[in-house]
Structure 1
């Protein structure tokens, strides 16, 4: 299902420091909240027609009503049939020029209790779903000779963290997929990149803090300090900082940038 709405005039102001020609269309998965919604908002304000995709119609509808996107599609990215139906419906209104694979999820557990089910879930939502979305839009981009594919990976795709081995494996897979495909289509006019945020102010990190508090008895402030200790910047990353990187990679100025796994991590990956 895809539902459209016209954004408020106040949301149509262009971000002049990036060139996004009128008529470009983007699909942002996991676009109803967190980083995905901020990415959708900034692309919309840059003049791009943005469709957001996710599992919860209410949050998607709220984002469209607020002018942060132009349309929404309801689908679980781990359901290949539903994902394809949503993408094809979105494409019926016009070809997708920009794909942002943002949907993702992390589950924790010690190595000695790592279960196959958890591992499979992490691969499915963080890696396979990104592959499926790329598989659906890439042929059209190649045929038109232009396109931008940006996957939100993680610093967990560039290094290891304890208790999230399956998540790290999936995000490393995303980075490898990005680099391989980028080289394969480098002369096509299609760029393929990954953005790798560190700990970011999102529901995901809030959940991690709650888990630390529940398991260790530490205060929320102490748990937050644990997460930021490895970050030279001394604070969490803001969703807007991730969105700015995506906006640049999606722009005409980044036509020569492909195969990049860009850390937005306050110096953690240096």
Structure 2
């Protein structure tokens, strides 16, 4: 796929060395765009620069380091003259019950998935505002909308990113900046196996069983990571990109079921809602 833009755009992609990030990095440069490819280990993204030359700027970046995020964005803007699209993809998935997680694991999950995306987002906004255009793509997850047992801390980080991104979209729209939450469903990227794990406690064996049974009940299907590159480029080409987009199929059904349950729960608790407002049963 070739770019529909008359001039190459510049992308800033975190987590570019593996999983969906590696797929997207190759898709971006193969279409002729410029890419700032970041990873914790810069050597993991150097092969892209070796293959595509000056169109790729490989940078080492720990997204949890606020100063490092700002410095990486400044370096990218100096090298390419500006950033058109930010893709916050860096992240991991802590598997385990809430009680099982250590304090350090809880903090790391939020620092990488939520705060890491926040730091890079804040760093690119001044340049995008000055140029009057830009697109911030936040990689959340179907798990940013629904929540399963044994993934509570992961969900918390993605729900937080969804909340701040929705608020951000309203804040930056007047400057010509778009925000999109990309919500992948199920792709075999090794995310779970390569991410930190809690030490299982026998009391929470049922939680792991529920994780797999509930996700299976939604009928979710495993997709091909290679196909997501085409979707990412198509998203970038939209004049009015959506605030949210699910990558993969069967996600809409899962989300609809989740929201139906929420509304039903709120409706069932209307007596308590009225009581909290000072309206007692039988009183008009």
Which residue is equivalent to 2:178?
191
Output aligned runs, 1:68-217, within 5 Å: 70-93=56-79, 94-207=81-194
SS at match of 2:162: helix
Say if 2:242 is the partner of 1:255. Answer: no
Contact 2:98 2:153 (8 Å CA) reproduced = no
Alignment partners' CA distance in 1, 2:9 and 2:247: 26
Alignment partners' CA distance in 1, 2:31 and 2:217: 34
Contact 2:189 2:225 (8 Å CA) reproduced = yes
Larger Rg: 2
TM-score, reference length from structure 1: 0.80
Contact 1:182 1:191 (8 Å CA) reproduced = yes
TM-score, reference length from structure 2: 0.76
**In proportion to residue count, which structure has more helix?**
2
Flag structure 1 segments of 5+ consecutive residues without an equivalent. Answer: 1-14, 216-224
Alignment partners' CA distance in 2, 1:108 and 1:51: 30
Flag structure 2 segments of 5+ consecutive residues without an equivalent. Answer: 203-211, 254-284
Contact 1:152 1:195 (8 Å CA) reproduced = yes
Contact 1:20 1:46 (8 Å CA) reproduced = no
Alignment partners' CA distance in 1, 2:239 and 2:176: 8
Which residue is equivalent to 2:277?
none
- How much has 1:83 moved relative to structure 2? 1.8
Contact 1:197 1:237 (8 Å CA) reproduced = no
Go from structure 1 to structure 2 and tell me whether the alpha carbon gap of 1:19 and 1:200 turns closer, same or farther (over 3 Å shift). same
Per-residue Cα deviation, 1:50-107 (whole angstroms, up to 9, x for no partner): 1101111221112333449612001111111222212211111110111110100111
Alignment partners' CA distance in 2, 1:36 and 1:207: 14
Say if 2:248 is the partner of 1:265. Answer: yes
